[in-house]
Structure 1
C-alpha cells in the first residue's frame, strides 16, 4: 500500500500526523488448490519458454563455434578440420562412382616475402592468392569440369583444393593455370611483389575405396608437392608409384632413426682437413653414421632431411655435439693440438633456438673444452630464409668463442654483398665446383670468385671433395687455405684418425 503525500495539504513547518480511517479491498478469493494449480501452470509456461530459448541460443552458439573451428580467420577459407569434415560428408553422400581430386599447394619462398616486406604484406599475398585460386576453381565448376569444390588453407602458406569428379585430362591444365595465376605480380600497398611461385602436388581417389581417409589424401598430396619442390619448384607433380616409394622409405627411415636414438645406434666418422701447402692435418669434419643394419646404404644426405621433417633433428644434433665434446675431453686433443678444430654440422633448428648458445656454453663448461677448437657448420642454403633473430643466435655462438663456417658455399644464391651480415669465419667451397675443376673451366671461374670474396672479407677457405692431384695443384695455385676429400683421406673412425701424422692425443687415451 503506497500513499502519496503530495496530494495532502501539509504545514510548512512543525510535526504532522495522518490518520487512515478505513480501507476497502475488492477481489475474489480462491482456494489453496487453485492457487497451486495456477502457479504450476505459470512455472510450466516460463520453464518451457526459457528452455526453448536456451536451446536456440545453444544451437546458434554451436553454429558459430563450428564455423570458427572449421574456418581460417585470415582468408575465410576452410581450415584443415573443415576440409576433413567436408571429405567425410561427401564420402557418406556420394556414390562409389565419384572420384575426388586433391591439389596440395605450397607457396615457394614465402618466408622471404614476410622477411622482406613484413607480415602485413605477407597476409595480403595470402588473401590475394586465395582469391585467385577461388576464381579458377569457380571457372572450373562453371564449365562443369568439376563439381562441389572446397578450398582450404591448412597452414601458413599451404592451401588444399578438393574437387569432385574433376576430369583427369583437365587436371594438368588447371594446375598450370594455378601456377601462372600465382606468378602474376601482386600489389600490396606501394609495393609490387613479382617473385611469387608455388609447388603443387596432385592425387586422386575413387570413393569406392572406403578405406581412404582425408589424412591419406593429404599425405599423398603433400608428398607429391614435396617432390615438386625437390624437382625445382614452380611446377606440379602427380602422386605415383615413385612418390609412394619415397613415402614408404621416409617412414622406414623415421622409425629406424627413432629406434637408433633410443638405443644409441649412431657413430661418428672423421673426415680429415689438411693445410693445402704442407698437407698437415688441420682438423676434421664430423660425419654422422647410423649403425642400425636396416639403414645400410642410407647416408646422412637422406636421413638428415627425414629427421628434420619428423622432428628428431634437435636430438640428433645435441647427441653429436655432446659426443664431440666428450671425445675431445677424453683424448686431450685440443690441449695437444692448440690450433686443431673439429667441425660439426648444425641444422636450421638450432639457428631458430634462442637457447642453443646457452646449451653450448653449458656443455663447454661441463666438459672443460675450449670453444675455440669447435667449428659449427651451417649450409649456405639455410641462410636464404634466416632473419635477424637467427643472426643474433649466430652472433651469440661466436661471442662464446666458437667458430662458424658457411658450408656448401656457392649453392645457396647468397648475395655476395650480404655476407657481412653473417658472423662466419670460414667458407667451404661446395664439392660441385671441385668435381670437374680444371684450368679455364666455368667451375674454375666460380672458385676464383669465391676465393676473391673470401679474401675480401678475410674468411678462411676450405675446398670440399678433392679427388685428384690436378684439383689439389690448381687449388693450391689459386690460394685456397684448406682441403678435404678422398684423394687425401676417406672418413676415418676415431681410432684411425688419431693415428694420422701430426695428430697428438694423451698417451693414456690413445687406446680409447
Structure 2
C-alpha cells in the first residue's frame, strides 16, 4: 500500500518545527532580559534617588542649624545687615532655592534681598506646616532660632533636587553603558538563533510556495478565466496526487458544469420565449456595445420602436392565446421586412408586450430607417390568418438616430418611445422621427405638474363663474364654476392644459374637492328672488372623482359645511366618465338626486352612445356641446341634431343647456327651437364670484 506524503502532513511538520524553535528561543531571551534589566534599572534608580534625597535633607538640616545659630544675636537686636549677610551667604550655597528668617510671630525679617521687599509680611500657613516636607523636587526645612531657652524666630530654607536628578541620570547612563556589553552579547546570541530560524523559514517558504501557493494561484487565475468565460484555461491546469490535485480535478469538473449552465441560462435570459427574438436585456447589452464601438468610429445607428395598435382588443375579445399567435406572426413579418431591406448587422428584439425594437448601423440611416419602417408597417397591415379568421392590425413606429438625437442607450430608447407615442397621437399606423420639441414638451409638462402641486395653497388658483341664462326672458338663473390657474411666471395657464395634467398625476381629486367647497360657499351667498329658489351653481366632476366611489359622501359633506340648498347644486359629468363604470355612475347619481342634487350630462353628443345614456342613467339635464352650436347656422346636420336633442329632452323631462353661444344668430335660433337655457360669451363671459353675484341681485 502506497503511503501518500500529503500536503497536510508536510505543513504540520514544518509549522511544528518553526513554531517550537521560535517559542523556545524567544521565551528564554525574554525571560532573561526581563529579569536582569528590569531589576537592575528599577532597583538602582530608586536607590540612587533615595540616597540623593537623604543627602539633600542632611545638608539642609546642617545649613539650617548653622544659619539659626549665626542669626540668633542679630535677630535679637534686629541687626538686619548682619542677618542679610548670613542669609545671602547661605542662599549662595548649591541647591538652595530660598532662605528666609522670620520672627516668633511669623513675620518675615529678612529674605536675602537688598531692599527686603517682604519685610514684616506674615508667611501664609506659618506655624501650621511641618518643619520638614517635600513638594515634588523641592525640600522645605525650618529650624528654630533660640536665645537661651527662648525661641525668638525661625530659619526657613528651600532646597531643590534638580541637581540630584541630574546626578541620578548620570548614574543611570553609566549603568546603561555598563549593561551595553551584556546586551551586545545577547544580541549576538539572538542573531545566531534568528539566522537558524531564517534558514528554516526559507526552506519552509520555498516548499510552501512550490507545493501550495503556486497551485492555489493557478487555481485563482483559472477561476478568473472561468468568470470571464474562458473555460479552456481551467482544463489546462496540472493535476497532482495530493489534496491540491483533488481540488483541481473538482474545479475542472465544476468549470465544465458552469459552462453548460451558462449556455442554458444565457439562452433563457437573452431570448424571448414566445417569438425567439432577443429580449430587452439582450437589446440593452447589444445597444451599449454598439454605441461604444460607434463612438470610436464616428458611425451612425438607427433605433426603430414598434408598437402594435389595439392589441388589447384582440386579447380581450379573442383570448390571449390568439394574441400570442399574433405576436409570433408579427415578429416573423418584421424579420422578413428587415431581410428584404438588405441592411447590415440588423438586430431585432421584443422589447416587451406588443413592442419590438430594430437596430441597425450604417450610412444614411435616417433615410434607410424610414424606408424600413414603411416596409414593416405594410407587412404588419396585411391580414393575419389566425384560425378561422383573418385579423388586420396596424403598428406605430418611432425612430431615433445616434449620435444626432442621443448619446446613450437609455436616451435612445426613451426618444424612440416618445416618437412612437407621437405616431399614435397622429392617428396610428404611421412613422414619426424623434425631435427636440418632444423633449421640450415633456419637460414643460413635468414642470407644470411640479408647479401645480401646492398652487391652491399659494393662492394661484381661483374660481370664475360663467352665468347661465334663461333664453326666453334673458334672466340669469345660475352659473358654471370654472377653475383658473394664474402661474407666477407663465401667466394664465389654460384649463385644457392643467386639467389633463391634474388628471394624469392624481391631483385632480384634491383640486375637485376644493372647487366643490369654494363654489358652494360662493353660491350660498347669491341672492334668491322673493318666494323663489336661488340661482344654481354647476360644478364639473372629473372621471377620477367619480371612480373613487365616495363622490356622494364628498358632496354631502361640502353641502353641510357651506349650508347651500342641495337643489341649487348641479354636478356635470362627461359621457366618458360614465362609460368607465356605468353601474357605479348610476348608483352615485341615484343617491345624489335623492338628496336633491341635480346631475347633468356634459358635452352631450360627443360620446359613443349619448342617447342610450339618457335611457339608462338618471340625469336631470344635458349640455349640448359647443361643437354643435358653433356651426348651427352653417351646418344643417348640426341644426337637425341640436333640434332633435332639444325635442327628446323635452319629451323625457330633461333640462337642456346650450354651450358656446357666441352671437345673436345662434341665440335667436336656439330660443326659436325651444332651448330653455344657454351660456356663452355672447350672453356673459366668465367673471369673479363678486360680479356674478350682482347678476342675481
Deviates more, 1:330-339 or 1:427-436: 330-339
After superposition, residues 322-341 of structure 1 pair within 5 angstroms as 322-329=514-521, 332=524, 340-341=535-536
Contact 1:129 1:182 in 2 (8 A): no
- Give the superposition deviation at 1:266: 1.7
Between the aligned partners of 2:315 and 2:450, the Cα distance in structure 1 is 34
How far does residue 469 in structure 1 lie from its aligned partner after superposition?
1.3
Matched, 1:150 2:345: no
Mean CA deviation greater in 353-362 or 41-50: 41-50
Q: Determine the C-alpha separation between the residues in 1 that align with 2:418 and 2:610.
A: 31
Instruction: Report the Cα offset of residue 71 of structure 1.
Output: 6.6
Question: Is 2:482 the partner of 1:273?
Answer: no
CA change 1:264–1:164 in 2 (3 A) is: farther
- What does residue range 221-260 of structure 1 map to in structure 2 within 5 Å? 221-258=416-453, 260=455
Aligned partners of 2:449 and 2:502 also within 8 Å: yes
Aligned equivalent of 1:98: 299
Q: How does 1:70-469 map to 2 (within 5 A)?
A: 83-94=283-294, 95-109=296-310, 117=317, 120=319, 124-125=322-323, 127-129=325-327, 131-145=329-343, 147-154=345-352, 158-165=355-362, 167-186=365-384, 193-194=391-392, 196-206=393-403, 212-258=407-453, 260=455, 263=458, 265-308=460-503, 311-312=504-505, 314-329=506-521, 332=524, 340-354=535-549, 373-380=568-575, 386-387=579-580, 390-401=581-592, 403-414=598-609, 416-417=611-612, 420=615, 422=617, 424-438=619-633, 441-452=636-647, 454=649, 459-469=654-664
Ranked by relative contact order (alpha carbons within 8 Å, sequence separation 6 or more), the top structure is 1
Q: Could you say which residue in structure 1 is the equivalent of 2:114?
A: none
> Could you tell me how far apart the structure 2 residues matched to 1:412 and 1:217 are?
38
RMSD of aligned Cα (Å)? 4.4
Q: Distance in 2 between matches of 1:233 and 1:261?
A: 38
State the secondary structure of the residue aligned to 1:286.
Answer: strand
Do the aligned residues in 2 keep the contact of 1:146 with 1:167 (CA within 8 Å)?
A: no
With normalisation by structure 1, the TM-score equals: 0.72
Question: What CA deviation, in whole Å up to 9, does each residue of 1:261-312 have, x standing for no partner?
Answer: 664522222222223323333433222221212232531112333444xx42
Q: Is the 8 A contact 1:451 1:480 kept in 2?
A: yes
Query: What does the per-residue CA deviation read over 1:170-202, in whole Å, with 9 as the maximum and x for residues that have no partner?
Result: 4334333444444444566666555x4443333
Q: Distance between the aligned counterparts of 1:276 and 1:442, measured in 2? A: 22
8 Å Cα contact 2:366-2:401 kept in structure 1: no
Q: Which runs of 5+ in 2 are unaligned?
A: 11-240
- CA displacement at 1:232 relative to structure 2: 3.5
- 1:497 — aligned with what? 692
CA separation in 2, counterparts of 1:382 and 1:199? 27
Answer whether contact 1:381 1:411 (CA < 8 A) is retained: no
- Equivalences for 1:23-38 in 2 at 5 Å? none
Q: CA deviation at 1:493?
A: 1.4
Contact 1:357 1:396 in 2 (8 A): no
**Contact 1:325–1:369 (CA<8 Å) still a contact in 2?**
no
TM-fit CA distance, 1:500: 1.6
Hey, what's the Cα distance between the residues in 2 that align with 1:73 and 1:286? 55
Q: Indicate conservation of the 8 Å contact 2:660/2:680, yes or no.
A: yes
CA distance in 2, matches of 1:71, 1:355: 46
3-state secondary structure, aligned to 1:268: strand
Distance of 1:427 and 1:278 partners within structure 2: 20
What residue number does 2:73 align with?
Answer: none
Matches of 2:487 and 2:243 in 1, distance apart? 78
String of CA shifts for 1:321-368, please: whole Å, max 9, x gaps: 333224414752599685754333344434554566665566556666
Contact 1:101 1:164 (8 Å CA) reproduced: yes
SS at match of 1:147: coil
Counterpart-to-counterpart distance in 1, 2:610 and 2:640: 17
In the TM superposition, residue 496 of structure 1 has moved relative to its aligned partner by 1.6
Shift of 1:203: 2.4
CA distance in 2, matches of 1:86, 1:360: 56
CA contact (8 A) 2:397 2:420 kept: yes
> What is the CA deviation profile of residues 38-60 of structure 1, one whole-angstrom value per residue up to 9, with x for unaligned ones?
xx967994798499759956994
List gaps (5 residues or longer) in structure 1.
1-27, 503-512
Q: How many residues align?
A: 460
How many angstroms does 1:482 deviate by?
A: 2.3
CA distance in 2: counterparts of 1:235 and 1:408, whole angstroms: 30
| Secondary structure at 1:271 match in 2 | strand
Other structure's SS at 1:277 match:
coil
Q: Do the aligned partners of 1:77 and 1:152 also contact (CA within 8 Å) in 2?
A: yes
* 8 Å CA contact retained: 2:572, 2:602: yes
CA contact (8 A) 2:311 2:354 kept: yes
